[in-house]
C-alpha cells in the first residue's frame, strides 16, 4: 500500500513533464530530478519515474523520426520544382519556376507533417493527464506505445 506522499510524488513526476511548454527540456529535467531523489525510497515512485522517462524518450524519438521523414520530403518537393540549370547559371533561385500546382504539393507535405506533430503533442498531453489521474488514485500506469529504455 502506497502512502499519500508516494502517490503525490508519483503524480507530480507525471505532471512535471508539462513544464516542457514553458521551459525547454523541462519534460526531462524535472521528472529526472524528482525521480532520482526519491526512487530509492519507494518502488511506486521508481516505477512511475521510469514510465515517465521512457514515455518522454519515446515521444522524442517519434518526433525525430517524423522530422527525418518530413524534412527531406519537403526539401525534395521544393528543389524538385526548380530547374538545376537556373540555379547554376544565375546563382540565384528563380521563383518563376514554382507555380500553383507545385506550391499545393509542397503545402500538402508541410500540412500533413504539422498535423501529425500536433496530433502527437495533443496525445502526449492527454496521456500525461490520464497517467496523472491514474497515479493519483494509487494505480500503476504504463503509457501506450512507450519503449522501455529504462527497465
* Spatial contact of 146 and 58, defined as CB atoms under 8 Å apart: yes
Per-residue pLDDT, averaged over 46-69, amounts to: 93
The 10s digit of each residue's pLDDT in 10-32 is: 999 999 999 999 999 999 999 99
Q: What is the pLDDT of residue 81?
A: 62
Q: In angstroms, rounded to a whole number, what is the distance separating the alpha carbons of residues 93 and 87? A: 5
Burial of 27 (0-12, 13-18, 19+ CB in 10 A): buried
- Report field, pTM of the whole predicted structure over 0.75: yes
Amino acid at each position: 500500500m502506497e502512502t499519500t506522499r508516494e502517490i503525490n510524488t508519483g503524480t507530480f513526476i507525471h505532471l512535471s513533464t508539462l513544464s516542457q511548454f514553458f521551459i525547454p527540456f523541462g519534460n526531462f529535467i524535472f521528472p529526472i530530478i524528482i525521480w532520482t531523489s526519491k526512487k530509492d525510497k519507494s518502488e511506486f515512485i521508481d516505477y512511475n519515474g521510469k514510465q515517465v522517462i521512457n514515455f518522454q524518450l519515446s515521444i522524442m524519438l517519434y518526433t525525430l523520426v517524423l522530422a527525418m521523414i518530413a524534412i527531406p520530403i519537403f526539401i525534395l518537393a521544393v528543389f524538385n520544382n526548380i530547374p538545376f540549370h537556373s540555379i547554376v547559371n544565375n546563382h540565384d533561385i528563380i521563383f518563376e519556376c514554382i507555380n500553383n500546382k507545385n506550391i499545393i504539393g509542397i503545402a500538402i507535405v508541410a500540412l500533413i507533417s504539422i498535423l501529425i506533430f500536433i496530433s502527437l503533442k495533443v496525445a502526449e498531453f492527454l496521456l500525461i493527464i490520464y497517467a496523472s489521474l491514474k497515479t493519483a488514485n494509487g494505480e500503476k500506469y504504463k503509457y501506450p506505445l512507450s519503449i522501455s529504455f529504462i527497465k
